[in-house]
Chains A and B, each alone.
Chain A
Amino acid sequence: GAGVSQSPSNKVTEKGKDVELRCDPISGHTALYWYRQSLGQGLEFLIYFQGNSAPDKSGLPSDRFSAERTGGSVSTLTIQRTQQEDSAVYLCASSLGRSGANVLTFGAGSRLTVL
């Protein structure tokens, strides 16, 4: 696609429910990243994919968080048994390759509110 698409753009859920956030990267971008941005805060790295593999999952905050990527394209971030502290904007970005010098293209984000 022309840009990185994320859905839903907004999600309000009750504490304890599971949520899935979707990212559709730019076609041909092999690297995909998930970040979390809490209100007024910087970027918190969650996970990095190169193709369908996730060489670095070190940023996932707990075992309630998981992510997968299929076909080297779409990625899904799943949060189980959501907690209020999970409320944040979840950002997805993609780039051409594994080099850290590649320019990242970001989606508009998915705003999650846990009541």
Chain B
Amino acid sequence: GDSVTQMEGPVTLSEEAFLTINCTYTATGYPSLFWYVQYPGEGLQLLLKATKADDKGSNKGFEATYRKETTSFHLEKGSVQVSDSAVYFCALEGNYQLIWGAGTKLIIKP
């Protein structure tokens, strides 16, 4: 069945470092792909999405490109801030719901 694999956390970086959180997927067809973020003490919220191959989703300085050749949707940011500390979830479109990755905790140190 369809599945999503994320890199394990926690990922710890210094402020202004470059961020990559890897996400790969297994799916039939070409589902939409998502990144959701959960800030401390808050509910999950959509960070960005891409609906077809080669699409790039972007928001708040984060980017992810839908790569069908490598079945990947890696999350990147050029310069992270302390406020980016959160748990990040990669997900793909299922029949009626999302298929979720396990989440990656990101810790940014000042």
Q: How far is the CA of A33 from the CA of B44 in the complex (A)?
A: 13
> Which residues of chain A come closer than 8 Å to B103, judged between CB atoms?
41-43
Q: How far is the CA of A100 from the CA of B45 in the complex (A)?
A: 16
Q: How far is the CA of A50 from the CA of B95 in the complex (A)?
A: 13
Q: Do A100 and B44 touch across chains, with their CB atoms under 8 A apart? A: no
> Interface on chain A toward B: helix, strand, loop, or mixed SS?
loop
- Number of residue pairs across A and B with beta carbons under 8 Å? 55
Chain B: number of interface residues, binned into ranges? 20 to 34
Q: Do A101 and B43 touch across chains, with their CB atoms under 8 A apart? A: no
> Which residues of chain A come closer than 8 Å to B96, judged between CB atoms?
31, 48, 50, 55-56, 98-100
Chain A: number of interface residues, binned into ranges? 20 to 34
Besides the contacts A91-B44, A105-B45, A108-B43, what 6 more A-B pairs have beta carbons closer than 8 Å?
A42-B102, A91-B43, A98-B96, A104-B46, A106-B43, A106-B44
Which residues of B does A touch, CB under 8 Å? 31-32, 34, 36, 42-46, 49, 51, 89, 93-98, 100-103
